[in-house]
A and B are shown apart, each in its own frame.
Chain A
Amino acid sequence: MKALMSLGALIGVAGLLLLGGMVLDVVPSTYIRLVEGYMPIQMLLEVACYVIGFTGLSYTLNAMGMAIPRFWQGIGFWVFFLLYLKYRMYPPIPFSVRAMYGTVSLVAVFMWVSASEEDWQKFKQPIMNVLDAQTGGNRILRYLYLVLLPILIGGFSFNAMMPKSEEPIELRTVHPAPPASTKVHGKTYTLQTSQNPYRVNPEGKYDQEFSNANIVEQGMGRLMKPNANPWDDKNQGYLKYVREGGEIFFQNCHFCHGDNLNGRGLHAFAFNPIPANFTDPGTIAQLQETFIFWRVSKGGIGLPNEGFPWASVMPPWEQHLTVDEIWKVVLFEYWHTGYYPRTWD
């Protein structure tokens, strides 16, 4: 047990040193890489390692007679987590989300330090000592707080109220709700029920299972399935349509959406926001094919009111492509990313 706790303490100290280095900009935040595709679970595991490390550290210091008071444990953990979010995570997390996580962690710390009466008494003790001011040091601290706290709160208020020249916050809707139907090249498509006419099996019938079996593998490799290479001239049907869609994509779309479909094309960084990243599980993987068909056809100017502030420069592709070409390019996007379009059956 002691050995385990010592190991935990070692992890804790190493982790703290690493984070300290990142805060002071001595160690780059990419020193331990967040692996693409595994970042979400990696973040949770890292924080779990820190918790284990801190437990070991606390146990070891306790055994050495240098126990950290519960009050400072609580405050310390909260500060650690805020620093972790700010300096370890990359790309940087917006302040609004950090504020949410910070609040949750503050509540969690409160729950931890007040879960039992004994812990709560321990946590409160330093505060009570200052309020009671039985010793000279505490008396000085109390006077200091009396002066500093109003100044601090005043400072925060002043800072909050002071007009700033920052760009205003935008609550942009990533996926505005589509209309029930859309008219493209004179034909009306009901988004709930329409299907991609090129998602077909060798018999020429609509077959999502068949097409799903022929898309690339998801993940970093994005390997093609055996005998499912659209650029093989012998392939007909679905894979041929994917190839045609790919040709259209590389002639029209990849300049912005990138040749990996990750939204990092040649012109991408001329725009803010940069174009949609189709490889992210939060974009086309969440949507019906008809949604993409509608967005491609109508472009940025076709966004509904709720899509405000319409920060999209995508042209209405119905003015440049035929309906068949749009369906094919949608087919290619799903094939290349390895995602399945959403269905309801």
Chain B
Amino acid sequence: MGLLAGKRVFSIMALCMMVGLLLLPIVVALPSLAIGEEAPAGDAAKKDGDKVEKGRDVYYKTEGIVVGAPAPKTVDGPRDYPRYNFESRVLLWFANQQHLYYGSFVLAVPIFCMIIEFMGVVTKDKALAKRYDQLAYDFIKISLTAYSLTAILGGILIFTFLTLYPAFFSYLSGIFRPVMHIYALMFVAESGTLYIYYYGWDKMKEGFLKWIHLSMSVILNIIGTLLMFLANSWIGFMMSPAGVDEQGRYLGNIWHVIHTALWNPLNLHRILGNMAFGGGVVAAYAAYKFLASKTDEDRAHYDWMGYIAMALGVAFLIPLPFAGYWLMREVYAYRQQMGITLMGGLLAWLFIIQATMIGILFLSTNYYLWQAMGRMRGAEKYQRYIKYLVFILACGYMVFITPHTMVMTPAELKAMGGQQHPVLGNYGVMSAKNGGINVIITTTVLSFVWYMRGNKVSTVSWAKFGNIFMGIFFGAAYFNIIFLAIYGYYIPANVRVGLSVPQVATTLSCLFFMFALNSVMMKGAKQLGPIEWGKISARSQYALIMLATAFTWMMGLMGYIRSSVRLFWHVNEIMRDNSPWAYTHTVGFAANMISFNVLFFWITILFVFWLGSLGAKKVPVESKAGIPGGVPQPAASH
């Protein structure tokens, strides 16, 4: 009893400490949130009111007292752009991308842990609860090693900035000075919380203490998310600066600097993207372990792990295109020029590659689910309809990847009779593409529904009616999506943009209503056979690896697109890039560079996984008894 009370006290203290760590940066910053040079300027204002210089915010259009230096007008030379005998921009690109990969991974995995740990806590099946708990623990263990690498890569990134772009970094850190140390302290808070969360796992594994432990994961994720928001504010500022005047002088309002036009869309897009990416990486890890497994028990465990990671990743992948759509809409609203450069101009082909990658993600997911149906008896009844799903997916995919700016020889251009093809010209614009992607996502939802009911037969009295209703619902959804895609050509552009809302609503209705209806219909359903975990084709695991690789590649690509849309600006329309590398790379070079980054990340993450497996080998045999790998059941769980 005393021991338990002691543990409780310890847990509550740990939780309080975490809350304290969370509040630490805010408390430290309280005396003056926007420090910088505001105070002296304010004093000066008191002394001599006439000499106060005011500036107009480039975005918010508000007036403010100038408290910062103007953006430096750099010149190509060793003072502003010192260099090695190599393209500085490529070095920075590499350092930045690797830091981002690891940063995304270590931010995503704790969110996974939180979800999986929560599932373990609420599930009534004790064996399953234990499996979830072990899975969450395995995840956080991997993330711990990756966390160190993230910090190291962050250091390398800062050194790269300081060494190769000192003028730019000095300006940016000057603008963000009021929150620079908050950012650093957030890291301290994140590290502290993570270590307490990890090392306190065994001490707080049951009852009330488990809830405290779960609360810690919530705090950990709040800190992580705030950290990411702060980091996002820098790139938001570089793309769509605010809080400064036309010369780039800080006007004393740090919230304006952070809360730029693109900050919120970037935040949402990155949270979802990180989660989908994290799911993909863990699924690939499980796939690799599955393929290398020598026993049925291991195969069962890693098959299950891959499925859970894939399902979580895809759950965040489904809304990701909609978040991306919002981001692009805001980009267009901020600067039409930027939007056209991205979607219709210089970078349009990169967006076609992006669409291709998104398609690969959804196709891989569907393929995995169809393969997964092979491990449950009774799912055969759906197999013969898969060819129609393939057809619908392929049609949606082809429309989705059709370029607006086509690659062709002058002879082909002449044969086509102009730049605008009567078929491809229609597929190449947003209205059709919205239809294409929504068809793909709706089909993915349908595949999920089939998977969830694969080995079951509903026993509810209204099962027939329910099935017919579902069929009609999906049919109506496809009709509505396609109808709106066509209707979009006949209405003003601003209304057309708004049509994406009913299209998305249709897709999400399928997701939520059909999942809910299916769950109700399958409650107490007759089982045709168990899910035979581990008895899945090797092809399915390659699909998971494909999924993860496509995620990684797409992240690299989107980062490059987002960054290069600034063209020859360090900070859009404020600070010009006068280095010799202020030009846009060719598509081929960018693709090679992204591939190199992807390859490097996967090599290093394999190292991280290997380190994790070293730790696992040291676990004594007797303590392994409860590890879920040995329990290929429960079969009924999805």
Contacts and interface: CB of A to CB of B under 8 A. Distances in A.
Interface in A79-138: 89, 91-97, 100-101, 104-105, 107-108, 111-112, 114-120
A344 interface: yes
Given A101-B398, A277-B418, A340-B492, A39 B426 contact: yes
B420 A282 contact: yes
B333 interface: yes
In terms of DSSP, what is the predominant structure of the interface of chain B?
A: helix
Contacts of A100: 356, 398, 401-402
A177 B339 CA distance: 8
A192 B417 contact: no
Nearest to A108: B394
Contacts of A175: 340, 344-345, 404-405
Name the residue among B399, B419, B491 with the largest chain A CB count within 10 angstroms: B419
A281 B336 CA distance: 18
Interface stretch (A6-14, A284-292, A322-330): A284-292
B344 A178 contact: no
A116 B336 contact: no
A273 B417 CA distance: 8
Given A94-B406, A111-B363, A177-B346, A306 B494 contact: no
Interface stretch (B59-67, B263-271, B384-392): B384-392
Given A172-B405, A306-B345, A105 B394 contact: yes
B386 A115 contact: yes
A173 B367 contact: no
Contact of A92 (B340, B407, B412): B412
Contacts, number: 219
A283 interface: yes
Interface in B347-398: 348-349, 356, 359, 363, 366-367, 370-371, 373-374, 380, 383, 386-388, 390-391, 393-395, 397-398
A97 B424 contact: yes
Interface stretch (A44-52, A151-159, A221-229, A232-240): A44-52
Interface stretch (A21-29, A162-170, A244-252, A313-321): A162-170
Nearest to B415: A92
Contacts of A166: 409, 411
Nearest to A179: B337
A174 interface: yes
A280 interface: yes
Interface stretch (B111-119, B274-282, B427-435): B427-435
A191 interface: yes
B10 interface: no
B504 to A, nearest CB: 19
A180 B424 contact: no
Contacts of A264: 417-418
In the complex, which of the residues A55, A100, A264 has the most CB atoms of chain B within 10 Å of its own CB atom?
Answer: A100
Nearest to B391: A51
Nearest to A172: B405
A195 B539 CA distance: 57
B420 A283 contact: yes
A180 B335 contact: yes
Given A105-B394, A174-B405, A344-B494, A272 B363 contact: no
A254 to B, nearest CB: 16
A41 to B, nearest CB: 6
B337 A282 contact: no
Contacts of B421: 91, 93
30 contacts: A39-B423, A91-B417, A93-B416, A93-B421, A97-B402, A100-B398, A100-B401, A108-B393, A111-B363, A111-B393, A115-B386, A116-B380, A116-B383, A120-B537, A166-B409, A169-B408, A174-B344, A174-B405, A176-B346, A177-B338, A180-B573, A272-B414, A273-B414, A281-B425, A281-B426, A285-B493, A288-B336, A306-B345, A342-B493, A343-B494
Interface of B: 332-333, 335-338, 340-341, 344-346, 348-349, 356, 359, 363, 366-367, 370-371, 373-374, 380, 383, 386-388, 390-391, 393-395, 397-399, 401-429, 431-432, 486, 489-494, 537, 539, 573, 584, 587
